[in-house]
Every structure is written in structure tokens, then in C-alpha cells.
């Protein structure tokens, strides 16, 4: 068996497992609520179990994606703060040199 055939067989297996597992996947909106600690009771337990015990690759990927997007959303504020710090530091350096 060459590596192409192995790849094809492997991706077929992963795909079929995915399809089977995804029947019970929570909706991405639910994952987002979970990420923002907006779930409680049975819904939270269900998502906890799904992500941690079942280790669903699809939903874990979605959560990672949502988390990354969240970080990106916070980015401009941080960048802005850093820019202002750099500018004021540069200004202070110019003043102390003058
Ligand atoms: Zn899932």
C-alpha cells in the first residue's frame, strides 16, 4: 500500500467517525455560551462531557476557533495601548535627551 492509499483510508475513517459522532454535537452557539461561562445545569454538563470526555475533535476545534476570534477581538485594544506606551516612552526619551 502506498502512502496515498493510506491517507485515503485514514481520512475516510476519520470522516466516517466524525459523521457518526457529530450527530450528538452541540450547536456552535451553545459552545460559544459555554466558552463565555453562560451555561449552567444540564446544558453545561453536556458540553463539558462532550468536549472533555468525548474529546470531540470537531467541537474542540470550534471552541479553539471561537477562543482565537475572541482574542483577536481584544487585540486592537492591546495594540492601541502598546502603541501609546511606545509613543510616550519615545517622547520621554526625546525629552530626557534634549
Ligand atoms: Zn462535537
**pTM of the entire predicted model:** 0.53
**Residue 90 belongs to domain spanning:** 3-97
- What spacing in Å lies between the alpha carbon of 58 and ligand 1's midpoint? 5
- What spacing in Å lies between the alpha carbon of 71 and ligand 1's midpoint? 22
Which among 14, 15, 38, 16 has a CA at the least distance from the CA of 26? 38
- pLDDT tens digits, 52-79: 998 999 999 999 999 998 887 777 777 7
User: Residue 40: what pLDDT?
Assistant: 93
> And the C-alpha cell for 7?
491517507
- What spacing in Å lies between the alpha carbon of 10 and ligand 1's midpoint? 19
Helices (H) then strands (E): counts for the chain: 4, 0
Instruction: Answer whether residue 22 shows pLDDT above 80.
Output: no
- What spacing in Å lies between the alpha carbon of 92 and ligand 1's midpoint? 53
The rounded distance, in Å, linking the Cα atoms of 33 and 39 is: 6
More confident residue, 38 or 12: 38
Band (86; pLDDT cuts 50, 70, 90): confident
- What spacing in Å lies between the alpha carbon of 38 and ligand 1's midpoint? 18
Q: Domain tally for the chain?
A: 1
User: Residue 21: what pLDDT?
Assistant: 52
Which among 55, 29, 54 has a CA at the least distance from the CA of 43? 29
> And the C-alpha cell for 52?
472533555
CB 56 within 8 A of CB 50: yes
- What spacing in Å lies between the alpha carbon of 26 and ligand 1's midpoint? 6
Mean pLDDT estimate for the chain: 82
- What spacing in Å lies between the alpha carbon of 5 and ligand 1's midpoint? 27
Q: What percent of the chain has pLDDT over 90?
A: 37
Amino acid at each position: 500500500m502506498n502512502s496515498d492509499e493510506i491517507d485515503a483510508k485514514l481520512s475516510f475513517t476519520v470522516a466516517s467517525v466524525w459523521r457518526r459522532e457529530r450527530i450528538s454535537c452541540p450547536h456552535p452557539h451553545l459552545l460559544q455560551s459555554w466558552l463565555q461561562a453562560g451555561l449552567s445545569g444540564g446544558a453545561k454538563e453536556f458540553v463539558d462531557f462532550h468536549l472533555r470526555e468525548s474529546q470531540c475533535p470537531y467541537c474542540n476545534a470550534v471552541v479553539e476557533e471561537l477562543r482565537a476570534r475572541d482574542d483577536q477581538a481584544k487585540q486592537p485594544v492591546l495594540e492601541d495601548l502598546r502603541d501609546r506606551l511606545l509613543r510616550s516612552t519615545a517622547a520621554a526619551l526625546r525629552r530626557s535627551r534634549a
